């Protein structure tokens, strides 16, 4: 099968190390490994683009920051939405050219906020279409940035996405319900996120602990991911202050709240026990995970499937995770990990439980590792999607 993998967003790059980039690359690789010919049409490009002059880049950012101080947030958000809508027309033209050149059997689109170029072109040209939907985009944007004046338009655009596509691929049963509430006739496939088969321990954990001066006998709790407020790393640090015993905490990742978290650790009196690495290449993540005894995801939204829990599981680590539907889709509490309310108290209780029970740590780690390697690899995800598509005829 000839497949165009389409991502219409202008700022989503194929080679970024965060979840979207990993997801796109791994799905493309998995499709190709299954014998399909895949043409990526990634409107953001392969890598993030920077100006040749660092001063120019800083100046541009400075001007933007100054402008935002005088422009109401709702107007600023609306301007961004309008710009994205205009870009979607350009994306449609680029996709049309790719379709004419490549003659695909299928367009597989990573959905984005208010962008309908993919579903519209597929419908116009009679090509099968898959919409990979990773979030309730109008709701997500309203929560993170506030509602712009185009919010109602974005809701209508989402309805176009959900009614014109042939198949909707979602990452959780919570998101499946969201889709079916808006289009009861949609064909929905639930495929939680996944990992590469070769994402395995590499034996470098001992070296990492030595470099960070973490004693062998200390139980090392850890988090890997982007450092943003909605990931709840501040709650994790607060919970860690309530841990009683020989324990340390490793935070791997970067983000604009990282300085605040370092200050929090310092003011809480645990700075000597909390280690911050900053950003690391995705290829080095297994080394840091290998060093940890217990991995933690402090909080999550109601709809998304967090890639990090699968990476934690693949590295055979005991896991503490939030008790939300997407996590419940793949983990059973007290069998595969400890699923808890996303509060400092609940997280601290789980940390103290695992601190003092090595046997439980081993049991949880082993159970979930088996499930991840058997059910949650990217090739299995791709097989499930392609299998459903092969039953659909245009």
Residue 310: predicted pLDDT: 95
For residues 45 and 319, the model is more confident at 319
Helix axes 117-125, 73-102, angle to 10 degrees: 30
Q: What is the pLDDT of residues 52-90, one digit of tens each?
A: 233 333 444 455 555 555 566 777 678 888 899 999 999
Residue 357 pLDDT > 90: yes
Residue 53: predicted pLDDT: 30
Query: How many whole angstroms separate alpha carbon 69 and alpha carbon 187?
Result: 45
Strands (E), 84-166: 106-110, 128-133
Q: What is the pLDDT of residues 117-134, one digit of tens each?
A: 999 999 999 999 999 999
Residue 72: predicted pLDDT: 65
Residue 245: predicted pLDDT: 95
Residue 186: predicted pLDDT: 94
Query: How many whole angstroms separate alpha carbon 309 and alpha carbon 304?
Result: 12
Q: Print burial letters for 247-281: b (CB count within 10 Å at least 16), e (below 16).
A: bbbbbbbbbebbeebeebbeeeebeebbbbbeeee
Residue 62: predicted pLDDT: 53
Residue 188: predicted pLDDT: 95
This prediction has a pTM of: 0.87
Residue 65: predicted pLDDT: 56
Q: What is the pLDDT of residues 255-297, one digit of tens each?
A: 999 999 999 999 999 999 999 999 988 889 999 999 999 999 9
Query: How many whole angstroms separate alpha carbon 43 and alpha carbon 309?
Result: 29
Question: Hey, what CATH class is 205-375 in?
Answer: alpha beta
Task: Look at the chain and count its residues.
Answer: 394
Q: What is the pLDDT of residues 11-64, one digit of tens each?
A: 988 887 777 888 899 999 999 999 999 999 999 988 754 332 333 334 444 555
CATH 3.40.50.2000 spans which residues of the chain?
2-51+65-194+378-389, 205-375
Cβ within 8 Å of residue 314, ≥6 positions away: 195, 199, 200, 369, 372, 373
Q: What are phi and psi of 223, to 5 degrees?
A: -135, 140
Residue 387: predicted pLDDT: 83
Partnered with residue 274 across adjacent β-strands are: 249
Grouping H, G, I as helix, E, B as strand and the rest as coil, residue 348 is helix
Residue 311: predicted pLDDT: 93
For residues 149 and 292, the model is more confident at 292
Cβ within 8 Å of residue 101, ≥6 positions away: none
pLDDT band at 389 (very low <50, low <70, confident <90, very high): confident
Residue 77: predicted pLDDT: 76
Query: How many whole angstroms separate alpha carbon 79 and alpha carbon 77?
Result: 5
Rg, Å, the chain Cα set: 22
Homologous superfamily (CATH) of 2-51+65-194+378-389 is Glycogen Phosphorylase B; (3.40.50.2000)
Q: What is the mean pLDDT of residues 149-168?
A: 94
């Amino acid at each position: 099968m000839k497949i165009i993998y389409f991502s219409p967003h202008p700022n989503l790059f194929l080679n970024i190390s965060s979840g979207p980039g990993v997801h796109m690359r791994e799905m493309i690789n998995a499709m190709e490994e299954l014998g399909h010919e895949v043409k990526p049409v990634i409107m953001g490009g392969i890598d993030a683009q920077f100006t040749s002059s660092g001063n120019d880049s800083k100046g541009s950012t400075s001007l933007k920051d100054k402008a935002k101080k005088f422009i109401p947030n709702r107007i600023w958000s609306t301007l961004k939405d309008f710009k994205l809508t205009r870009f979607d027309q350009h994306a449609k033209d680029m996709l049309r050219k790719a379709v004419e050149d490549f003659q695909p059997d299928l367009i597989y689109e990573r959905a984005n906020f208010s962008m309908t170029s993919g579903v519209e072109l597929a419908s116009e040209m009679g090509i099968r279409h898959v919409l990979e939907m990773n979030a309730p985009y109008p709701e997500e944007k309203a929560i993170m940035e506030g509602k712009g004046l185009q919010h109602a338009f974005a809701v209508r655009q989402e309805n176009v996405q959900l009614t014109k596509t042939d198949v909707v691929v979602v990452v959780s049963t919570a998101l499946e319900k969201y889709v079916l509430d808006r289009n009861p006739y949609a064909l929905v496939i639930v495929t939680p996120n996944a990992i590469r088969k070769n994402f395995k321990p590499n034996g470098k954990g001992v070296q990492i602990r030595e470099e960070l001066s973490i004693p062998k006998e200390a139980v090392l709790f850890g988090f890997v991911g982007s450092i943003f407020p909605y990931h709840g790393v501040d709650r994790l640090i607060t919970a860690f202050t309530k841990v009683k015993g020989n324990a340390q905490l490793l935070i791997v990742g970067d983000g604009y709240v990282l300085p605040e978290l370092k200050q929090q650790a310092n003011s809480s009196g645990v700075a000597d026990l909390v280690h911050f690495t900053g950003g690391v290449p995705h290829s080095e993540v297994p080394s840091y995970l290998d060093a940890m005894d217990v991995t933690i995801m402090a909080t999550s939204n109601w709809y998304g499937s967090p890639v990090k829990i699968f990476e934690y599981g693949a590295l055979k680590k005991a896991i503490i995770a939030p008790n939300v539907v997407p996590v419940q889709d793949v983990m059973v509490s007290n069998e595969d990990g400890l699923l808890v309310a996303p509060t400092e108290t609940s997280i601290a209780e789980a940390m103290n439980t695992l601190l003092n029970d090595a046997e439980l740590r081993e049991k949880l780690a082993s159970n979930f590792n088996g499930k991840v390697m058997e059910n949650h690899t990217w090739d299995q995800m791709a097989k499930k999607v392609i299998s459903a598509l092969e039953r659909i005829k245009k």
